[in-house]
Structure 1
Amino acid sequence: MQQILVNQNAITETRMLEAEGEPLAPGQARLAIESFAVTSNNVTYAAAGFDIGYWQFFPTSENGWGIVPVWGTAKVVESRTDVLEVGTRLYGFYPMASELVITPEQGAAGLVDAAAHRANLPLIYNQYTPVKTAPASEDHLRALLQPLLATSYLIYDWLLDNDFFGAKQIIVGSASSKTGLGLCSYLAEAEARGVKIVGLTSASNRAFVEGLGHCDTVLTYDQIDALDHVPSVYVDMSGNSTVKAKLHSTLKHQLKHSSAVGLSHWDQFTPTAPLDGPKPQFFFAPSQVAKRREEWGPGKIEAQITAAWKRIAVSASDWMEVKVHDGVADAEEVYATLARGEADPKVGAIIRP
C-alpha cells in the first residue's frame, strides 16, 4: 500500500509511505482506489485540517503527518462483510493512497463507513455511492467536478436562502477556481436574480474567466477600487487576507456579508489588521446540506446538486483539460503545485494509483 503524507504544519511538504496492508477484521472491506482527483479543494482540506477535522478521516501513525482526503472511485477487492461484494465500485471520500479499508454499513443515509474514528464526522464525507463500470472519463469528471460544483451549488442555494443578504452584487474571489466558476455559473442561471456577478481573479487568469461568460464584470485583484459601492456579498474562494482586507476597506458598511469558502491562498490567510465591515464567516457546505435535508426530506438537495453539476460537466471539455497521472507518487507534485498556487486553472488532475 502507498500513501502520500503531508506535513500538518507545513502543508507543501509531502512524502510517500509504503506499508503492508492490514488484515481485514470481520465486518470490513478493502477497496483498491482506481482513480482520484487532486484540486485546490484538497489544499483547503489540508489548510483547515485541524479546524474542521479533515486530518481525522484517515489517521496515520506518523506524528505530525496526515493524509489529505480526495474524491475518487475504488473497487472492493476483499470483503469480510455481507454489506459489500467483491467487485463493487464506489465513489466517495478516499485517502491520497492506493487503498482504503472501511467498515461498511447500509442505513437510511445509504452506504457509509461506520468505522469508530469517523462516527462524529460529517455524514456527507462518510457516504459511499455504488457506481457502474463506465468509461474512465466519467469517473474523472465526477471526481474533479462533483465535490467542487456541489459546494458551488450549496453556496448558491445558501445565498438564495438568505435573499442574497440584501446585496446588489455578489463578488466571487478566485473566480478562476472550479468552485468559483461554478458559483458564477449558477448565479447567472438564476431567473430575476437582481444581483450583479463580479469575478475577482489574477491578471493571468482574467481572460479565462471572461471567456466563460458567467460574470457581468471581471476585475483583477489590483482593481478592487473599481467595485461599485453598493450593498455587496463577498464569497472568498482563496483565503488571501491582503485581498480580503482591501475589499473590506473599499466597501466598508456596503459589505453585507463576507464568506470564507476556500483556502487555496492558505499561506496568505492570516489577517494583518482588523477588517472593516462584517466579520468573515466560514461557509461549511455540509451544514447547508443538513439544513435542506431537515426542511425538504432526504434525497431532495442531493438530486438538485447532481443535476446542477452535470449541467456544467456537459461543457467541461470547452474549458478544462483533464490530465491523467499514473502512480500514487505523482500525486505529490500535483498537490504541491496546487499548494504553492502554481497550478493552471484550465487543467484538472487525475491520479490513477
Structure 2
Amino acid sequence: IPQNRNNFKYPPLELPSFYMTPSHRQVVFEGDSLPFQCMASYIDQDMQVLWYQDGRIVETDESQGIFVEKNMIHNCSLIASALTISNIQAGSTGNWGCHVQTKRGNNTRTVDIVVLESSAQYCPPERVVNNKGDFRWPRTLAGITAYLQCTRNIHGSGIYPGNPQDERKAWRRCDRGGFWADDDYSRCQYANDVTRVLYMFNQMPLNLTNAVATARQLLAYTVEAANFSDKMDVIFVAEMIEKFGRFTKEEKSKELGDVMVDIASNIMLADERVLWLAQREAKACSRIVQCLQRIATYRLANGAHVYSTYSPNIALEAYVIKAAGFTGMTCTVFQKVAASDRTGLSEYGRRDPDGNLDKQLSFKCNVSNTFSSLALKRKFWW
C-alpha cells in the first residue's frame, strides 16, 4: 500500500462503495488505448484518489500518453478519478492501482496489465496426458499463463483427501517466443487409483503405535506391485519405507523390520522400466535398500549377534564379526521350491504366516573359507 509523505502507513479504510473498472487482468497490444475509472464513497473533505503502477505514483504525462483526471465529486456522495493510457507500450506491463487516501485510513484496488507485441506469437493447442489426467491446452497468446480445471476422477475419488469442492487447476505458461514453458499440475489428483491410494498412505501420520498396522496395510496393497505403472507408485512406497524405518530403533519386536523387507520384496515385482524411472527421478530403489540395511544395523546395535529375515525376493542377514579373528566369509542363497510349484509362483507376494520358508529365499553365511557342513547336508530344489 502506498505511503504518505511522512512515511506513515494508514490503517484499512472501510468504504460503503469502492470499485475500479476494469477490475480484471487486461491483455492488450502495444499502441492500444486503455481507460480506467475509479469511484469511492465520499466520506471526508481531505479524501484523495491516486494512481500507482507497481508502487510508483502515476501522474499526467502527455509524452507517455498518460492522462489523469483527479478528484471529481458526484452529488456530494462519490469521489472519482479517471486514468487513460492512450499509447500503451511494453513498459505499461505491471500492476496498476487506484488508491483512496484520507486521514482516517486508506484502501486500494488493483488490476494487472499484460502488454503484447503487435506481432504477438501464440503457443499452439496441445494435448498433454500425464499421471494427473488428460489436459487439452488451447491456443494461447505468448506471455500468458493458461489455466485448466483438474480432471474430475469418478472412480476412487472418495479416497482422495481434501475438499471435493475445492477448485483445483493446473497451469501452463506460454513464453514470449510462443513456446510452451513452465507448468504445474501439483494441485490435481493422480488419475490412477493405485497412485492415489499410495499418495494417501504417504500422507498418513505415523507413530510407534500405528506403524506396524499401517505397514501391514501397505504390504497388502503392494502384493499387486506387478501392476504398478507409474514411477510415483514406487517413489511413494520408498518414502513410506523410510518413514517406517524411523521406528525400527524403538520397536522391541522385529515385526516392523520384517514387514518392511516384505514390502521391498513386493516392489521388486514391478516392471523394470517403472523401477528405473523411480530410481532416476528420486533414487527410490537405492533408498529402499539403504533402509533395509539400517534395520540390520539397529538390531546389531541393540545387542543381537545375528539378524536375519527372509522374503520371496530379498534375504537379509547380518552378523557381528570381530575383525581380529576374521578369516573370510562364504555365503549361499537358495530357494526351496516343490517341483509342482516351479511354474506357478504367483503366491510370492507375502510372507508365510507360519514361518514356512519353502517359498522364500534363504541366505546362509559361514565365517570361513568353505561352506558350512550344515549347508552342505541340506537338499534343495531349484
Q: TM-score, normalised by structure 2?
A: 0.26
Structure having the higher helix fraction is: 1
TM-score by length of 1: 0.27
Which structure exhibits the higher relative contact order, with contacts defined as CA atoms closer than 8 Å and separated by 6 or more residues? 1
